[in-house]
C-alpha cells in the first residue's frame, strides 16, 4: 500500500516536514515539525541505519508526534519535532552536523534540537558551531539529561508498583533493565541503591560487563531479556520492542522504560492490558530529558533530576487513576488526555 506523506501530515496534524540533503557532506535526513501552537518544537537528532527512506520518514513522524504528546502531558509551553538522519558510509559527519546546525538556525527558534540515538556530545558540538537552538554539551548546556530520564523511569516504576500493590517494597522486587546505556545504567544504579534485584541485558557485552562489575547486577542474555520472570521490564534501548510475537514471551507484571515507541502499534497496549500487564505509556515515562532541556532553554533553569522524576511520577499517577476509573488502558487514556490538550492549544492559537 503506497504511503502518502501529505495525507499522513493532515491526519496527524503536522505543520511541516523537510527533506535535508547536503551535497558536500553526503547528509540525508528528514525533519518533522509536528506542533508549535503553544511554543517552539523540541526534538533530538536520531542517526540510525534505516532500511530505506520510507522507514526513516515514518520514524520521524512517529517520534515527532510523540514529542508533542510528551510536551502536552508535561505541561510544557512547547511542541514536538524530530530530525532523523540516515546513517551510511562515506559521509563527512562533522560537515553533516554543521549543515544541520545551519538548517536549525534558519528556522529562527521554531525548533530546538539535542541528543538522541547516534548523536552525542561531539556531534552536538558541531551543530552548536552554527546555531544557539541546540542542547550544548558541557557546562553551557542543561546537563543531566540521561539522569533526568532515568529518574522519570524510576519514579514511574514506583508509581506502577503503588498502583498495583499499594507499596513499593523495593527489596522484594526484580526489575529487568533491557539496555544499559546512559539511561539504563543510571536506572540500574537507582534500583540497586534501594535493594532491588536487578537483571541487566545489553547487546554490547563489554558495556554489560562493566555494569556488572560496578553495580553487582545480574547479567542475562540480551536475546532472553523478555523471557525473564520479574516484576518490571524496563526497556531502555530502541523502540518497536513489543509486537505480536514478543508480547507472548513476557513474564512481567509491569512494562515501564526509557525507550521511545516501545510498542510496535497502539493495539499492543490493549493486548498487554488483556494479559494483565500494566503498561506505563512511554511518552510519559521517558520525558525527563525533554523537561530538563525545555526548562533550560525556555526559562534558563536547571530543574533537579529527582524533582523531574517526581513530576513524571505524579503525571503517570493521574493517568493510572483515570485509567482505573474509566476501565481503559493507560495508553489510550494518556493519548486521549494529550490530544485533548493539543487540540485546545490549537484552538486557542487560532
Is 285:316 a contact under the CB 8 Å cutoff? yes
Q: And the C-alpha cell for 311?
A: 513530576
The H or E element that residue 193 is part of is helix 182-193
Closest CA to 258 of 278, 282, 289, 275: 282
Provide the annotated active-site residues.
82
Q: What is the Cα–Cα distance from 29 to 134, expressed in whole angstroms?
A: 17
Q: What is the DSSP string of 244-255?
A: TTGGGG-B-SEE
d(CA 198, CA 153): 14
For the CA atoms of 333, 227, 249, 151, the dihedral, rounded to the nearest 10 degrees, stands at 10
CA distance 103 to 247: 40
327 Cβ neighbours under 8 A, 6+ residues apart: none
Provide CB contacts within 8 A for 317, sequence distance 6+. 159, 162, 163
Interstrand relation of 79-86 and 28-33 (parallel, antiparallel or unpaired): antiparallel
* Cell reading at 302: 536547571
- Residue 302's SS3 state is coil
Give the integer Cα–Cα distance in Å for 149 and 301: 17
Amino acid at each position: 500500500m503506497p504511503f502518502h506523506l501529505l495525507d499522513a501530515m493532515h491526519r496527524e496534524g503536522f505543520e511541516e516536514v523537510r527533506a535535508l540533503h547536503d551535497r558536500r557532506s553526503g547528509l540525508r535526513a528528514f525533519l518533522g515539525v509536528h506542533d508549535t501552537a503553544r511554543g517552539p518544537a523540541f526534538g533530538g537528532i536520531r542517526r540510525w541505519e534505516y532500511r530505506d527512506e520510507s522507514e526513516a520518514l515514518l520514524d520521524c513522524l512517529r517520534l515527532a508526534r510523540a514529542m508533542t504528546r510528551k510536551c502536552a502531558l508535561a505541561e510544557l509551553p512547547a511542541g514536538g519535532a524530530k530530525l532523523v538522519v540516515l546513517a551510511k558510509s562515506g559521509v563527512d559527519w562533522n560537515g553533516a552536523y554543521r549543515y544541520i546546525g545551519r538548517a536549525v538556525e534558519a528556522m529562527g527558534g521554531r525548533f530546538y534540537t539535542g541528543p538522541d540515538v547516534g548523536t552525542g556530545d561531539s556531534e552536538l558540538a558541531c551543530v552548536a558551531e552554527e546555531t544557539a537552538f541546540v542542547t550544548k554539551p558541557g557546562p553551557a548546556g542543561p546537563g543531566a539529561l540521561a539522569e533526568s530520564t532515568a529518574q522519570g523511569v524510576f519514579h514511574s516504576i514506583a508509581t506502577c508498583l503503588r498502583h498495583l500493590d499499594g507499596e513499593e517494597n523495593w527489596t522484594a522486587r526484580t526489575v529487568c533493565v533491557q539496555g544499559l546505556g546512559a539511561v539504563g545504567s543510571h536506572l540500574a544504579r537507582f534500583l540497586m541503591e534501594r535493594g532491588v534485584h536487578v537483571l541487566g541485558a545489553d547487546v554490547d557485552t563489554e558495556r554489560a560487563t562493566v555494569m556488572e562489575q560496578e553495580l553487582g547486577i545480574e547479567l542475562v542474555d540480551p536475546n532472553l531479556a523478555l523471557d525473564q520472570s520479574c516484576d518490571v521490564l524496563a526497556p531502555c534501548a530502541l523502540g518497536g520492542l513489543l509486537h505480536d510475537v514478543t508480547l507472548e514471551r513476557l513474564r512481567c507484571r509491569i512494562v515501564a522504560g526509557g525507550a521511545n515507541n516501545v510498542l510496535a502499534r497502539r493495539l499492543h497496549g490493549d493486548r498487554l492490558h488483556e494479559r494483565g500487564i500494566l503498561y506505563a505509556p512511554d511518552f510519559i515515562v521517558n520525558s525527563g530529558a525533554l523537561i530538563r532541556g525545555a526548562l533550560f532553554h525556555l526559562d534558563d533553569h536547571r530543574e533537579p533530576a529527582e524533582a523531574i522524576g517526581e513530576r513524571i511520577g505524579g503525571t503517570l499517577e493521574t493517568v493510572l487513576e483515570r485509567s482505573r476509573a474509566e476501565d481503559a488502558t493507560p495508553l489510550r487514556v494518556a493519548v486521549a488526555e494529550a490530544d485533548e490538550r493539543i487540540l485546545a492549544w490549537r484552538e486557542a492559537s487560532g
